[in-house]
Structure 1
Amino acid sequence: MEAQLEQIREQQKETWNRFSAGWQKWDDFTMHWLKPMGDEIIRALDLRETDRVLDVAAGTGEPGLTIAGLVSHGEVVITDLAENMLAVARDNARRKGITNYETVVCDVCALPFPDESFDAVSCRFGFMFFPDMQLAAREMVRVLKPSGRIAAAVWSVPEKNAWITAIMGTISRNMDLPAPPPGAPGMFRCGSPGFLASLFEQAGLHGISEKELTGQLTCGSKENYWRFMNEVAAPVVFALSKADAATTEKIKREAFAVVDSQCADGRSALDYGTVVVSGQK
């Protein structure tokens, strides 16, 4: 991997380790919100109870731990760059009594597993952050057995994701933030229709399908939304760390106005859009 991409990987590892406490605090809330995408990944994988499954960039353990409950005579290997996130996953597994799993800290672009060692591979909201997405897809295919399946979820385009644009758009209007380089890792990098499907095809998969899932992030109140975004959303925290108190308060007021304009019932329920793509080796 190029030095620049290695630097991005190390920055991401540091970020996810730093934010693991926030993710642990909000884990039940977040996992309930993201469950439909995990359920669609599981449906697409068509699992058997004896399967050995790799869950890539699993963070606090999902959908890998749910998969472990389905492959009762199999095993799930849960991977992530950040050891602190995987520590949360192990805590979650202990609480749920799940034992047929292991966690491995590793880079998806250099998976430490033999060729053809997994029956299925899952990845929920990881691809858009991989420094080299094509290499990541090839590594997933390499460790997949013939006829095995891969399924991944990514965020769709910004216009379908008010849950993040409500606050990030407000930040951008109030702060002069540097634009990321073209193609840099980011939330909406894989959102265009057909983007991830093309990556899968180039990596050697066939029978590729793409499904859009939409819904809402329901926070209950604007204050709850603000706290959530300031404790789990790294781009928000990094941007606001460069703002003075007056600017932060102005951003908060304006973001709340955006939420009010979209949520007349006061529940702070903001739209999200995702894409789930699957294919077979």
Structure 2
Amino acid sequence: MSTQMVFNPQTFKDTTRAQWDQAAQAWDSWGPFLGDWLGPVTERMLDLAGVTKGSRVLDVAAGAGQQTLLAATRVGPDGHVLATDISPAILGYAQSACQNAGLTNVSTREIDGEMLTDLPAGDFDSVISRVGLIYFPDQQKALAGMKHALKPGGRIGVAVYSSAAANEFFSIPVGIIRRRAGLAPPLLGQPGPFSLGADGVLAETLTRAGFTDVRVEKITAPLNLPSAAECVRFERESFGALHQMMTALSVTERNDTWLEIEKALSQFESRDGFVGPCEMLVGGGTNIAPAKH
């Protein structure tokens, strides 16, 4: 029997912060893999956001900062990147990564992605968010804050997962956990990995937020790993969303769930290793300048 629960945005945020604080070190340790996996997606996101030499960039839900590094390298010493996240622990890794790379044009700030209106208005040329917008309970509030932070004519660039069917490396574990934990289907508007993945949804979401010249592209981004077991290790160590779904399960039940997930994902193994199906959407838009009177 499914357990229907009322979605509580604040509880979700509190749990998200705690999960990412806990997963910060692991997510950082997977940085080289993330760079290989999402590198082309990230570069295209930066393109659509108009990130170039000298740009001031706001990185929302920056995580351990792999895309922050790419943005900071692209803008050069005359530009600047502000990396923000709800998790102070993971931001620490982003700051360390930039320092270790010799980048002095990055700063960090702990901030809820739905509270960006606390930032100065019109202070940034570009706003980016890689796999962050999908997890905001109020996506329009988050986008309004991003728009607030952008200069007139500034650009936004976001990367999200497309449909569940095109991302079985993730949707299969989600389905198994949902069944084992007795979770009801997500409520309309509830945040989650595929909340912006249906055809036309990301473009409509950006347009409704007031962005113009909206463009959305699909990019195939398969996960190439040695085995299904290694994919499970990656998700088990790094995907806070999956752990959030398993909070009601006992330790034994969670372990059994991960074993079932590994067995299900083994269908994507071959003699050449594991290739997990993944498709990303990269979207961009312009913050239209206010009309002159």
TM-score, normalisation: structure 2: 0.87
Counterpart contact for 1:231–1:237, Cα < 8 Å: no
Counterpart contact for 1:17–1:84, Cα < 8 Å: yes
Counterpart contact for 2:49–2:156, Cα < 8 Å: yes
Which residue does the alignment assign to 2:156?
Answer: 150
Q: Which amino acid aligns with 2:271?
A: D
1:1-281 matches, within 5 Å, as 4-72=8-76, 73-111=78-116, 112-239=118-245, 242-243=249-250, 245=252, 247=253, 251-265=257-271, 267-281=273-287
Distance across 1 between alignment mates of 2:100 and 2:251: 41
Q: Which amino acid aligns with 2:237?
A: E
Distance across 2 between alignment mates of 1:66 and 1:262: 30
Distance across 1 between alignment mates of 2:125 and 2:279: 28
Counterpart contact for 2:216–2:281, Cα < 8 Å: yes
Distance across 2 between alignment mates of 1:103 and 1:254: 39
Counterpart contact for 2:227–2:269, Cα < 8 Å: no
Counterpart contact for 2:126–2:154, Cα < 8 Å: yes
Q: Displacement of 1:193 after TM fit?
A: 1.8
Q: Displacement of 1:9 after TM fit?
A: 2.2
Distance across 2 between alignment mates of 1:43 and 1:57: 18
Q: Which amino acid aligns with 2:213?
A: G
Q: Displacement of 1:10 after TM fit?
A: 2.3
Deviations 1:121-144 (A, max 9, x none): 111111111111001111111111
Q: CA 1:18 to 1:206, structure 2 compared with 1: closer, same or farther past 3 Å?
A: same
Percent identical pairs in the alignment equals 28
Structure 1 SS opposite 2:174: helix
Distance across 2 between alignment mates of 1:137 and 1:244: 38
Structure 2 SS opposite 1:198: helix
CA RMSD of aligned residues (A): 2.1
Aligned length: 278
Q: Displacement of 1:265 after TM fit?
A: 2.9
- Any stretches of 5+ residues in structure 2 without a counterpart? 1-6, 288-293
